[in-house]
Amino acid sequence: MKVAIIGGELAGKTTFFCAVTGIDYNKALASSAKGLSATIRVEDHRFKLIEDKVGKGKKIVCPTIELFDTPTMARDMFASIREVDGIIAIVRLYDLTASLLPDKIKLCNNEIERIRAELFLADLDILEKRTERIKAQQKHPSQLKDEDVAELDLLGRLLEELPTKGAQIFDKLTTEDKKRLNGFKLFSQKPIMFIANVSDSDLQFENKSIAVVLSTKLELELSQMKEDERQPFMEGYGLKQLKIANLPTEIYHYMGYKMFFTIGKNDITGWGLRREADALEAADKIHSDISRGFIAAEVVSFDDWLSCGSDAVARAQAKYKTEGKTYKVKDGDIILFRFNVSR
């Protein structure tokens, strides 16, 4: 999964990126003008629970997120992050001149609106440019195909309705129109996770549009300390744990992904899937042979498996269910695929 970090100037994007990835801030600064990427592991807490039951020794294989630290929002930078699955937008709320809560809330909402508007305008730009290109072809009617006409019609509707009705119009599109849209990789169709970067004294700040409130600078400093050194400082700030500790998992779910597990002879693997994915897609994630020769998925929910404590008990208690290709995988499912490659 790919996620880009965006936000205004000095919002704390690079500081956040370094706190989450462990990359040295000065090194990151040196290359942040052109953007920087790093991979983080989604160390879901359930790996440890599985390991506690099956014993240590198996390799833990986590899904990963590729994070992009983008230079401060500029239109020309948008093209480079079209491919991402989701966006993290850092809202700068540290060292404000405003000291009253209503003023801070107002600043926060304004910044969220500004970022949304930037992304939205970038989308309109793409739709308009494409419209112009097709219209230019209309001057040579022989070159205009049915597909172009259908696309032009779709673009016209989007340009008219997106500004007033918002992203909900995507849900009502036909399958063909949805396919036509895929190539545009519109921001309006991507999840945006807003993170507030506040001063140390404002860690209790709340806002309904903000998913996580933290101080990027504090998180970076704390993450560089040894665990026992860090504890007294965290208590001083009223933090039970680092806000970034569980963030990869939170990002993962926020961006519309779920995870299923396979427990092999040598490994415990978590596989990432889009929220709507079925058993066939899950099989394909492991290997195309498994989806091609798919016979069945033997599935046990995470909680059932955990309360049984082993495959043998889960089977004895008939907790494993046999599911077909269209079974909608649930987050945490433990799956064993049966397949036949000679089919």
Q: CB under 5 to 8 A by kind: which of Mg ion, ligand GDP, none does 7 bind?
A: ligand GDP
Q: CB under 5 to 8 A by kind: which of Mg ion, ligand GDP, none does 197 bind?
A: ligand GDP
Burial of 213 per CB tally in 10 Å (0-12, 13-18, 19+):
buried
Helices 216-223, 13-21: inter-axial angle, 10-degree rounding: 30
Is the four-CA dihedral 234, 242, 12, 115 of positive or negative sign? negative
Helices (H), ranges, 2-60: 13-21, 25-31, 45-54
**Closest-approach residue to Mg ion (CB):** 14
Under DSSP, the state recorded for 189 is G
Q: CB under 5 to 8 A by kind: which of Mg ion, ligand GDP, none does 21 bind?
A: none
DSSP 66-111: EEEEPPS--HHHHGGGTT-SEEEEEEEESS-S--SHHHHHHHHHHH
Considering only residues 21-40, where is the footprint of Mg ion by CB under 5 A?
32
Residue 70 within binding range of Mg ion, rule CB under 5 A: no
Under DSSP, the state recorded for 22 is -
Q: CB under 5 to 8 A by kind: which of ligand GDP, Mg ion, none does 36 bind?
A: none
Among 1, 4, 5, 14, binds Mg ion (CB under 5 A): 14
Under DSSP, the state recorded for 170 is G
CB nearer to ligand GDP: pick between 30 and 79:
30
CB nearer to ligand GDP: pick between 198 and 282:
198
Structure tokens at 182: 């895929």
CB nearer to Mg ion: pick between 5 and 218:
5
Burial of 146 per CB tally in 10 Å (0-12, 13-18, 19+):
exposed
Q: At its nearest, how many Å lie between ligand GDP and the CB of residue 225?
A: 16
CB nearer to Mg ion: pick between 70 and 291:
70
CB nearer to ligand GDP: pick between 230 and 325:
230
Which residues sit at the interface with ligand GDP, rule CB under 6 A? 7, 9-15, 72, 94-95, 197, 199, 215-217
Q: At its nearest, how many Å lie between Mg ion and the CB of residue 230?
A: 25
Distance CA 81, CA 83 (A): 5
CB nearer to ligand GDP: pick between 14 and 262:
14
CB nearer to ligand GDP: pick between 194 and 294:
194
Among 3, 5, 7, 13, binds Mg ion (CB under 5 A): 13
Report the length, in residues, of the chain: 343
In sequence order, the 6+-apart residues with CB closer than 8 A to the CB of 158 are 127, 169
Element at 186 (helix H, strand E): none
Binding site for Mg ion (CB under 5 A): 13-14, 32
